Structure 1
Amino acid sequence: MSDTALQEFVEATATKFGIPGITVGIWVDGREIFASHGVTSIENPVPVDRDTLFTVGSVSKTFTVTAVMQLVAEGRIDLDAPVRTYVPELTLIDETAAATITVKQLLNHTAGLDWNLINDTGEGDEALAEFVAELAEIPLIGAPGARASYSQAGYNLLGRVIENVTGQSFEHVVRTRVLAPLGLTTTGYLRNEIMTRRFSVGHERGEDGELSIIRSWNGTRANNPGGGISSSVAEQLRWARFHLGDGTTESSETVLPAAWLSLMKQPTVELKASTLGDALGLCWFLRDVDGVRTVGHGGSAFGQFAELLLVPERDFAISVMSNASDGIPSNVAIVRWALEHYLGVIDQDPEPLPFDPSHAHELLGTYDIDAMTMTVLAGDSGLSLECKIKPEIRAAAETELPQDHPPFPFGLLPGEGDEYIITEGSFKGQRGYFSRNDSGKIIGLDLAGRLFTRA
């Protein structure tokens, strides 16, 4: 497969989805391949290249878990120990949960914590400590260990574990113990460093179809462990190659012993009807595609979208970053093209069932988390899912929040599991399922690994 073919596909995909800038890096057959298209900003256009910094959202969690596992390897953290061993100040609405949640349950999203707190604890060194002090307000979606539900708050809490164990700020620990040894010199959290380099900004498409700049770059400092890092595809490939390797640097310095690196990729909990994966390791989403195990993580933040996927048995990795609101389907299209053309691996969405109005009525209604509301609607042509940020959250926000999307059409999938797939829009291909209680009543909706409780 020629490098030209990749460049042509990236350009065609960016044009199809109306993305101002996309950049791709691939590690295959022992070499790196790059392709980029477009600009960093429609207002101040600078060409996107392999070194352009994007905010990578939840791909940041892979750096946090690596720092945690270093401390585990050193005997300073026990995965099965209660989090309170390291954060004794932790308080939750349920004392039993606060006392029993383990470090491992934070790492694989089974702690029972809701998605996140919408708060701002400032940009000072006490940001994480103050965030943890407010966790007494976070809802719990279940008992610790009962089920997986993706939690940003859980990873922010892990950041505080790292701070308390090391006596240093979270960002300092990741920079000195993870980034620096691996030569990731431009990857980081600090805006003052990012703004001196070539960086992308996010874009969103309005109801009139026109793109506009999203003025916010990333979230608050307390969200750094779960989603605050910025990186380039060149350095994401270096990061991927570390996780494909034996835990050492190019100069043979051990950053993380191979056994602990491997443990992160072992399944710990199965996932149902999730586009993210079939199972969770320690942070990594594990998925079997056409008979091949993949290991990956995606991320999104303020109109920027990132995807990092590894295929360990084939020594393959791909990083894709894009900077507009259709970034998810464009990134997925590029990843699937690369899997097929470089590895012969085919990844396809399942086909939904024809619309059945008689089954639709029990699905209708509102489902929510602290910041967002999902509403299931039905029309003549089928079902749709309306996803909106709550008005009170918008009113209280001090930074610009993403626009709401038009309702996404979706269809139910074959089987008995109340599984569904979104069929159109910027969430096309995303899968989820409806949860029932013991009496068979629908009580929740899962999307992107998060449980939205029926209102």
Structure 2
Amino acid sequence: MSHETLSEVVRATAARFDIPGVAVGVWADGREAFACQGVTSIDNPLPVDPGTLFVLGSISKSCTATALMRLVASGQVELDAPVRRYVPELVLADEQVAAEITVLNLLNHTAGLDWRIIADTGDGDDALAGYVERLAGLKLIAPPNSRASYSQAGYNLLGRVIEKVTGQTYEQAVATLLLEPVGMEQSRYTPADAMLRRFAVGHNAGEDGALAVVRQWKDTRANNPGGGLVSSVADQLRWARFHLDGSRTASGEQLLPAELLRQMQQPTVELRASTLGDAIGLCWFLRDVDGVRTVGHGGSANGQFAELLMVPERDFAVVVLSNAGPDGIPFNQEIVRWALESYLGVADRDPVSLPYDEEQARQIVGDYENDAMSLVIASDGTALTLEVMIKPEIRAASDTELPADYPPFDLGLLPGDTDEYIVTSGALKGQRGYCTRDTAGTVTGVDLAGRLFKRAPAASD
């Protein structure tokens, strides 16, 4: 594959999706290749290059998990230990759950914690401590170890574990444990550090479809462990190579024992009907695509989106960063799929949904919710649609600009007696999920993107 071909595909795809700025990196056949296109901002444009900083969103979790594993390797943390061994002040809505959840439960999203809490606890060094105090108000969606459900709150709690064990702030600890030895010199957590380098800003489409710069560049400091790293495509490709090369730095130092690195890439809990993967390792999502195992993670911020995917058995990695919503999501996914097929001959195809069935539609139609978002499945008698919205009370309570809700997506049910579905249009095209039923057969919840949305109570309840 020539660099010219990569650049041409990235340029054409970015233009088709109307993304102001993108950065793509590929590691294949022992060589790096980069393709950067467009500008950092439509208001104050600078060319995107391999060193341009993007907000990574949840790819940040891979740094939190790997830093934690360095503490495991040194004997300072045990995976099966209760979280309260390290954060004794932890209080949750259920005392038994607070006492039982382990470090491993947080790493692989099996703690039973809801997605996140919306709370700005400031920019001081006590931000994570303040966040943990707020966890008493977080909903618990399932008993520990009973199922996987993606939790931002869980990873922010892991950040507090790191602080308590190291005696440093989360950001200082990750820099010491990972960023500095790995050589990720362009990766930062604070706006004050990032503004000294070239950085991309997010863009969101308004009601008229026109893109505008978003005014909230990144989330609060307390969300750094779960989604606050700011990094470049060059640093992220270096990060991928670190995990492909047995946790060796550029100087040859091995930061993690080989068995712990392998453990991060081995299944710990299966996922059902999830675009994220077939299973979760220790942070990483694991997915078999056309006969090969992929290891990766995605991320979304306000108008910025990121994908990192590795194929360890083929010593391959691809990183895609983009700065516009909602179409940054399908842009990233299309480039990842193109890279897999073009470099490795690995084809990633969506399953085909069934024709509309009135009885199946009747059972799934309804309103669902988690702590921050609402999900509506509706039918017009000929087709199903799915709408995902930020709750009005969350918008009203937010001091910052939040992205607009997407228009409804087309939804199709998948073959077999599975209660599984796939989104067939729009920015979430290809996203898969499934319905949960109670013992009477009534649909009580819907999973989307690894998150559980429970059926909302009726207005009269």
Alignment of 1:54-93 (within 5 A): 54-93=54-93
Equivalent residue runs for 1:34-433 within 5 Å: 34-325=34-325, 326-433=327-434
Task: Report the secondary structure of 2:34's partner residue.
Answer: strand
What does the per-residue CA deviation read over 1:22-42, in whole Å, with 9 as the maximum and x for residues that have no partner? Answer: 110000000000101111111
Alpha-carbon offset, residue 188 of structure 1: 1.5
Contiguous gaps of at least 5 residues in structure 1: none
Q: State the alpha-carbon separation in 1 of the partners of residues 139 and 445 from structure 2.
A: 15
**Structure 2 counterpart of 1:445, one-letter code:** V
- 1:417 is displaced (CA, Å) by 1.2
Of 130-139 and 351-360, deviating more is: 351-360
Residue type of the alignment partner of 2:139: P
Equivalent pair of 2:115/2:153 in contact (CA under 8 Å) = yes
Cα distance in 1 for partners of 2:132, 2:60 equals 19
CA distance in 1, matches of 2:57, 2:454: 24
Give CA-to-partner distance per residue, 1:397-444, whole Å, 9 cap, x none.
111101111011110011111111111111111111111112211110
Partner of 1:437: 438
Distance 2:250 2:405 in 1: 45
Number of residue-to-residue matches in the alignment? 455
The 8 Å contact of residues 183 and 250 in structure 2, kept in 1 or not, is answered as no
Q: How does 1:14-33 map to 2 (within 5 A)?
A: 14-33=14-33
Which sections of structure 2, spanning at least 5 residues, go unmatched? 457-461
- SS at the partner of 1:161? helix
Aligned twin of 1:453: 454
Deviations 1:35-87 (A, max 9, x none): 01111111111111111100000000000001100000011100001100101
Deviation at 1:142, TM superposition (A): 0.3
Q: Which residue identity lines up with residue 180 of structure 1 in the other structure?
A: E
TM-score using structure 1 length: 0.99
Q: Using the TM superposition, give the Cα deviation of residue 358 of structure 1 relative to its aligned residue in structure 2, in angstroms.
A: 2.3
Deviations 1:282-329 (A, max 9, x none): 000000000000000000000100000000000000000001111111
Separation of aligned partners in 2, 1:291 and 1:224:
35
Return the offset for 1:355: 1.1
Distance (Å, rounded) in 2 between the aligned partners of 1:428 and 1:392: 27
- How far off is 1:239 after superposition? 0.3
Amino acid at match of 1:278: D
- 1:188-238 deviations in Å (ceiling 9; x for gaps): 201101111111111111221111111111111110000000111101010
How far did 1:252 drift?
Answer: 2.2
Distance in structure 2 (CA, Å) of the matches to 1:374 and 1:2: 43
Identity of aligned residues (%): 64
What SS class does the counterpart of residue 134 from structure 1 fall into?
A: helix
Q: CA contact under 8 A between 2:64 and 2:225: conserved in structure 1? A: yes
SS in 2 for 1:261: helix
Distance in 1, matches of 2:356 and 2:330, equals: 23
User: What do the CA deviations read for 1:217-273 (whole angstroms, capped 9, x no partner)?
Assistant: 111111000000011110101000000012221222232222111110010000000
Q: Structure 1 counterpart of 2:331, which letter? A: S
Alpha-carbon offset, residue 380 of structure 1: 4.3
Three-state SS of the structure 1 residue aligned to 2:182 is coil
How many Å apart are 1:3 and its aligned residue? Answer: 1.1
Determine the C-alpha separation between the residues in 1 that align with 2:333 and 2:173.
Answer: 32
Task: Indicate the residue corresponding to 2:459 in structure 1.
Answer: none
